[in-house]
Amino acid sequence: MSETAIVCETLRDEFLYVFEKVNKDLPVIWIESGLHNRPEKLRIRLQEAFDTITGGVVYLLFGVCGNAALGLKTGDFKLVMPKVDDCISLLIGSSKKRADFAAEHSAYYLTEGWMRGERNLLVEYQYSLKKFGKEKAEYITKTLYGHYKTLALLDTGAYPIGKLVEETKILAITIGLEQMVVPASTSYIEEFLWGPWPPDRYIVKEPHSEITFEDLRIGLK
């Protein structure tokens, strides 16, 4: 049976790490991470990707992400996607684990994949710095992100975390956040590629079906 993966660019490091580890051989369609800011455009892009695939199983490595998957129609293939609110929950292990962490830490999360995004926190700060100067840039950044207490750097094991720590150290000080390295994992992605796919952790759609609101309902189990 043929297999295809559709993967958010944000998860490139983690996916390729797992891909090599499990020795899985399948084609990959990469989806631009910047589309997360425009769910309607992301939905269109995902449907375009679906429409190029014939038969087999499609692994959609995305979270619910603003319901961008709502209304997507499968072709003559089976679809599997994680049942998590976003990539953060995917890398922490589940939406519940993310909620448990959030109960203790009001955190803004980062990985190297997020730092490569076109609208990441550091890029926005540097843009404000260039346009408005240091004082106003710090004011804007603190206004937008000052309600967080922690800058949580997810250590997924897919790359050395030290580079990310250094890149974000000054930014954390500027905003007044505690920089914290948070243990994360690629085990969800590995399970995703091999199964099984229990219904509390995965959305599984048969050929010629449509993703509904009920499919995207996330529980904290």
pLDDT above 90 (res 3): yes
3-state per-residue secondary structure call for 18-70: HHHHHCCCCCEEEECHHHHHCHHHHHHHHHHHHCCCCCCEEEEECCCCCCCCC
Please tell me the total count of domains within the chain: 2
**174 and 191 belong to one structural domain:** no
Instruction: Write down the pLDDT at residue 219.
Output: 64
**Percentage, residues of the chain above pLDDT 70:** 97
Q: Is residue 220 part of a domain?
A: no
Query: DSSP of 67-129, one letter per residue?
Result: TTTTT-B--SSEEEEE-SSSHHHHHHTSHHHHHHHHHH--EEEE-HHHHTSTT-HHHHHHHHH
Q: What average pLDDT score do residues 71-96 get?
A: 92
- Cα atoms in the 13 Å half-sphere on the side-chain side of 191: 16
Whether 218 is in a domain gets the answer no
Confidence of residue 134 (pLDDT cuts 50, 70, 90): confident
| Domain carrying residue 27 | 3-88+186-205
Do 191 and 83 share a domain, yes or no? yes
Q: Can you give the CATH number for the domain in which 18 is found?
A: 3.40.1360
